[in-house]
Amino acid sequence: MPYRAPADEIRFILDHVVKFNDVTATDRFAEATPETVGAILSEAAKLSDGVLAPLQRGGDTHGAVLEDGIVRTAPGFAQAYARIAEGGWIGIAGDPAHGGMGLPFTLAAAVNDMVSGALLSLGLNPLLTQGQIEALEVHASEEMKALYLPKLISGAWTGTMNLTEPQAGSDVGALSTRAAANGDGTFAITGQKIFISWGDHDFGGNICHLVLARLAGAPGGTKGISLFMVPKLIPDADGNPGARNALRVVSLEHKLGLHASPTCVMAFDGATGWLVGEVNRGMAAMFTMMNNARLQVGVQGIGVAEAAFQHALAFAMERKQGRTPVAGGGTIVDHADVRRMLIEMQAEIFAARAIALDCAMSIDMQTATGDPDWGARAALLTPVAKAYGTDVGIKVADLGIQVHGGMGYVEETGAAQFLRDVRVTSIYEGTNGIHAMDLVSRKMMDGGEAAFRMFDEGEKEAELARAVLPDLADTVWSAAETLRETVEWLVEQDMQERYAGAVPFLKASARVLGAFFHLKAACSEGGTGPRTALARYYIERLLPEYAVLITQARAGAAGLYALGPGDLAR
């Protein structure tokens, strides 16, 4: 069965589960009428199903290749990219002053969900450009905005982000790329960056690299990093791509998956760059780009999970094996364990999608209202949406292989590709472990206030749900209370203790948040029907994991350091 973008499911979540109506009720997003939202979702679904999904297998087998220093993309990719650009999809949330549609970021996330399910490797390209657009909108000079934003928003030019170096991955502050003032307002950028997604391609236009580098005499660590725009082709006086800049692709990484997305080793040999924002404030500027990209990487995981789920369900409905215990088509979908896997896949996807869209909606509300509580909510949800969305992508793709049996392990069914492709999403844009640490440290600097507000909201929903589904509502309410107590305990601990339990704490938080949203979906159909059955599955069988996870979260650091590297090596 070919991929079918989940436009209706996304619409359901927007209309009934997360408060997207609050977003569209603001003056800032008044243009996002129900008709516009419907048109965006259905057009994005058509693009995903008809143009992108058919390139999925060919992209994997052909991959991107480096020929004479130029990246050649897989057949059909340049044309598909042109369709994304022509459709205006890159500027969906961009500033109308520069050609964007000015629509809610939530819709950009919804489109990314569908595009990622169809063709993750290509979808990563516009995602990076969107992040760059945001960073420039907030931090660039008016002159730079006028030159770059219309080109990036139209998709004529693409954007990359250059942080990682061999010795500077999670620890970006360790980077050694240098910047030196040229005396004419430009800077010479010298150094090597690795793992640069879409560092080059054959789509035409220009490639705009946002590069982190250190000026001579700047402080060490992240406090001495500045951000530079370093285009592949230096724009001429009319703003058209001109002379080649002193940068090149040294090689492409050979990877587990995502073969059609070129991952480049880049050399900057005194390349001309322009400062973005203030000297030594590059991390702040890059964070603007990374914050939404983080949520969008979580959404990538959800998109791939959706595709893997659809693929597995179609297989299970055709494959006959053994006598099934219930009357049905006699295919493996009727075996209890296969049914368990499929329901679990769908329950996880729903929870992760609702959390991600709720996070996106919070970002929009902050944009529209300027209310810091919405900002704090978005900040709190971002690491959860990133890590849980990508964990779900990996888990669901893995279950998808299991549903296929041996055919999942051979490449021709395509089940394995989902897992190979999605695996990186828990690593790039900050590893999930780093995001969990962010959740228990920076995101708890308010003493847990933002988290407590979310629990209040969830508990209020659970109280309302008591009239419809009392047993499920009670379970969810109790889980929220236990998590609240865990946050109260957490904020009293020193960082070492918090970090030791950060990953289980993040997972427990996702479990409880997912339960809030499942309960709401069940109530929206009056407590009977497939959404209620799915909610019951999640709340009765998956939610209880939070108790174990909280125990792990509170177990502390001493037990981890009791085993030294020497002991492990035994």
Q: Under the rule (CB under 6 A), what is the footprint of ligand FAD?
A: 160-164, 169-170, 195-197, 255, 258, 263, 424, 427-428, 430-431, 433-434
d(CA 57, CA 413): 10
**Plot region of 63 (φ>0 → left; ψ -120 to 50 → alpha; else → beta):** left
Closest approach, Cβ 505 to ligand FAD, in A, equals 14
How near is the Cβ of 432 to ligand FAD at its closest, in Å?
Answer: 7
Q: Which residue has the tokens 């003056």?
A: 27
Q: What SS3 class is residue 8?
A: helix
**Minimum distance from CB of 386 to ligand FAD (Å)?**
12
Q: How far is the CB of 415 from ligand FAD (least distance, A)?
A: 21
Taking a C-beta distance cutoff of 8 angstroms, is the pair 277, 227 a contact? Answer: yes
By C-beta, is 255 or 319 nearer to ligand FAD?
255
In contact, 500 and 562? CB cutoff 8 Å: no
The distance of closest approach from Cβ of residue 139 to ligand FAD in the complex, given in angstroms and rounded to an integer, is 17
Q: Which amino acid is at 550?
A: I
Structural contact between residues 243 and 234, judged by C-beta atoms closer than 8 angstroms: yes
Residue closer to ligand FAD, measured from CB, 211 or 515: 211
d(CA 502, CA 180): 40
Cα of first residue to Cα of last residue in the chain, in angstroms, is 49
CA distance 14 to 12: 5
Cβ distance to ligand FAD smaller for residue 280 or 431:
431
The structure tokens listed for 330 are 């006699």
Shortest separation between residue 200's beta carbon and ligand FAD, angstroms: 12
Q: State the minimum distance, in angstroms, from the CB of residue 378 to ligand FAD.
A: 21
- Judged by beta carbon, residue 343 or residue 427, the one nearer ligand FAD is 427
- Active site residue: 137, 344, 429, 497, which one? 429
Q: Where are the beta strands (DSSP E) in 68-176?
A: 70-72, 158-162
The gap from C-alpha 342 to its chain's centroid, in whole angstroms, comes to 23
| Nearest residue (beta carbon) to ligand FAD | 169
Nearer to ligand FAD, 41 or 434 (CB): 434
**146 vs 445, which CB is nearer to ligand FAD?**
445
| Minimum distance of ligand FAD from residue 123's CB (angstroms) | 13
Has 429 been annotated as catalytic? Answer: yes
Burial label, 326 (beta-carbon count in 10 A; 0-12, 13-18, 19+) = exposed
In this structure, the dihedral spanned by the alpha carbons of residues 479, 481, 487 and 490, taken in order and rounded to 10 degrees, is -80
Residue 262: φ, ψ to 5°:
-70, 120
* CB-nearer residue toward ligand FAD: 49 or 391: 391
Phi and psi at 247, nearest 5°, equal -145, 155
What lies within 8 Å, CB to CB, of 288 at 6+ separation is: 134, 135, 138, 139
Helix (H, G, I), strand (E, B) or coil at 162: strand
Is the Cβ of residue 130 or residue 160 nearer to ligand FAD in the bound state?
160
For 132: left if phi > 0, alpha if psi spans -120 to 50, otherwise beta; the answer is alpha
Which runs of consecutive H residues, i.e. helices, occur in 325-469?
336-369, 372-404, 406-409, 415-422, 432-440, 449-465
Could you give the residue numbers annotated as active site? 429
